Amino acid sequence: MSLSNVLSVEQLKERITSGEQIVLLDVRFHPKVPAYGKEAYAKGHLPGAHFIDFKASLTDPAREHGGRSPLPTPERLAELFGLLGIDRDSAVVAYEDGNGPAAARLWWVLRYLGVERVQVLDGGFSAWESAGEPVSQEPAVVTAPREFVPAPKADWLVSVDEVRAASANRGEGGTRLVDSRDAAQYAGRDVSFDPVGGHIPGAANFFWKDVLSEDGAWKSTEQLRERFTALPKDAEIIVYCGSGISATPNVLALKEAGYTNVKLYAGSWSDWISYEGNSVAVGDEEKA
């Protein structure tokens, strides 16, 4: 069964060739090299693709609470997308270099705001270029900006208070917490990103990169179902990571696996530890 939120190079090519109007968004990003995405776009991108500055456009400056990469307001995001010719009826395909969390974060943001036809390009720019498809160095021009009226989905996002309640219940209330970071961060052995190591008590560890195959491509629907088999299908699933970015591939994957009640804790671990009263767990994996 093919994925509904991820499409292949061949599928994208067929849709473009058919004349379908698709807004392509290039969201290549490197956390340690601020200019990387813009420079990569200038060297070559999918023809007609618009560049999205990931850090400047999809996150707000950090403050006391909200985590390292706070989610911008719906109004700010709507202005950005409207200027790119996007509204809630648009068909959008996001890509980065390969299959990383930046494109998934953009997918999540657009879906959260009410855009239903959003997909991620499997393999990103690298897959497109490797397939011998055309690459352009011409910046995309928006000929017709649109009015984007956001319709935020309240059931896609949770507050720190809701996470506290889920942590206190430890799954007994039907809610499961999913930590998307690697095992070392989850256990508290790696504190290179945040001043406090560990995880939210009651959270189970599902490293986000495990939704990808060994070759870096997205796993199939069946493989994703197997990946999350320990999580009850009827449960509310709250997903987090360090700052709300690498959690989004897990959100997408859970949706593909058939989970319908999946929510993002956008502030994630970096927000959780900004509150002195929040408990911290360290050590081995907790059961889902």
Instruction: Say which DSSP state 97 is in.
Output: S
Under 8 Å CB-to-CB from 121, ≥6 apart: which residues? 6, 7, 8, 9, 12, 93, 94, 95, 103, 127, 128
**Phi, psi torsion values for 184, nearest 5 degrees:** -70, -40
Crossing angle of helices 248-256 and 101-113, rounded to 10°: 70
Active site residue 241: yes
Catalytic residue among 115, 121, 241, 254: 241
Q: Which residue has the tokens 């390009």?
A: 121
**Token output for 155:** 């059931």
- Whole-angstrom CA distances from 37 to 55, 60, 167, 227, 275 are 10, 18, 37, 31, 33
Task: Name the one residue in this structure whose structure tokens are 């499997």.
Answer: 122
The beta strands (E) that lie in the chain are given as 6-7, 23-26, 50-51, 91-95, 117-121, 175-179, 203-205, 236-240, 262-264
* Residues taking part in catalysis: 241
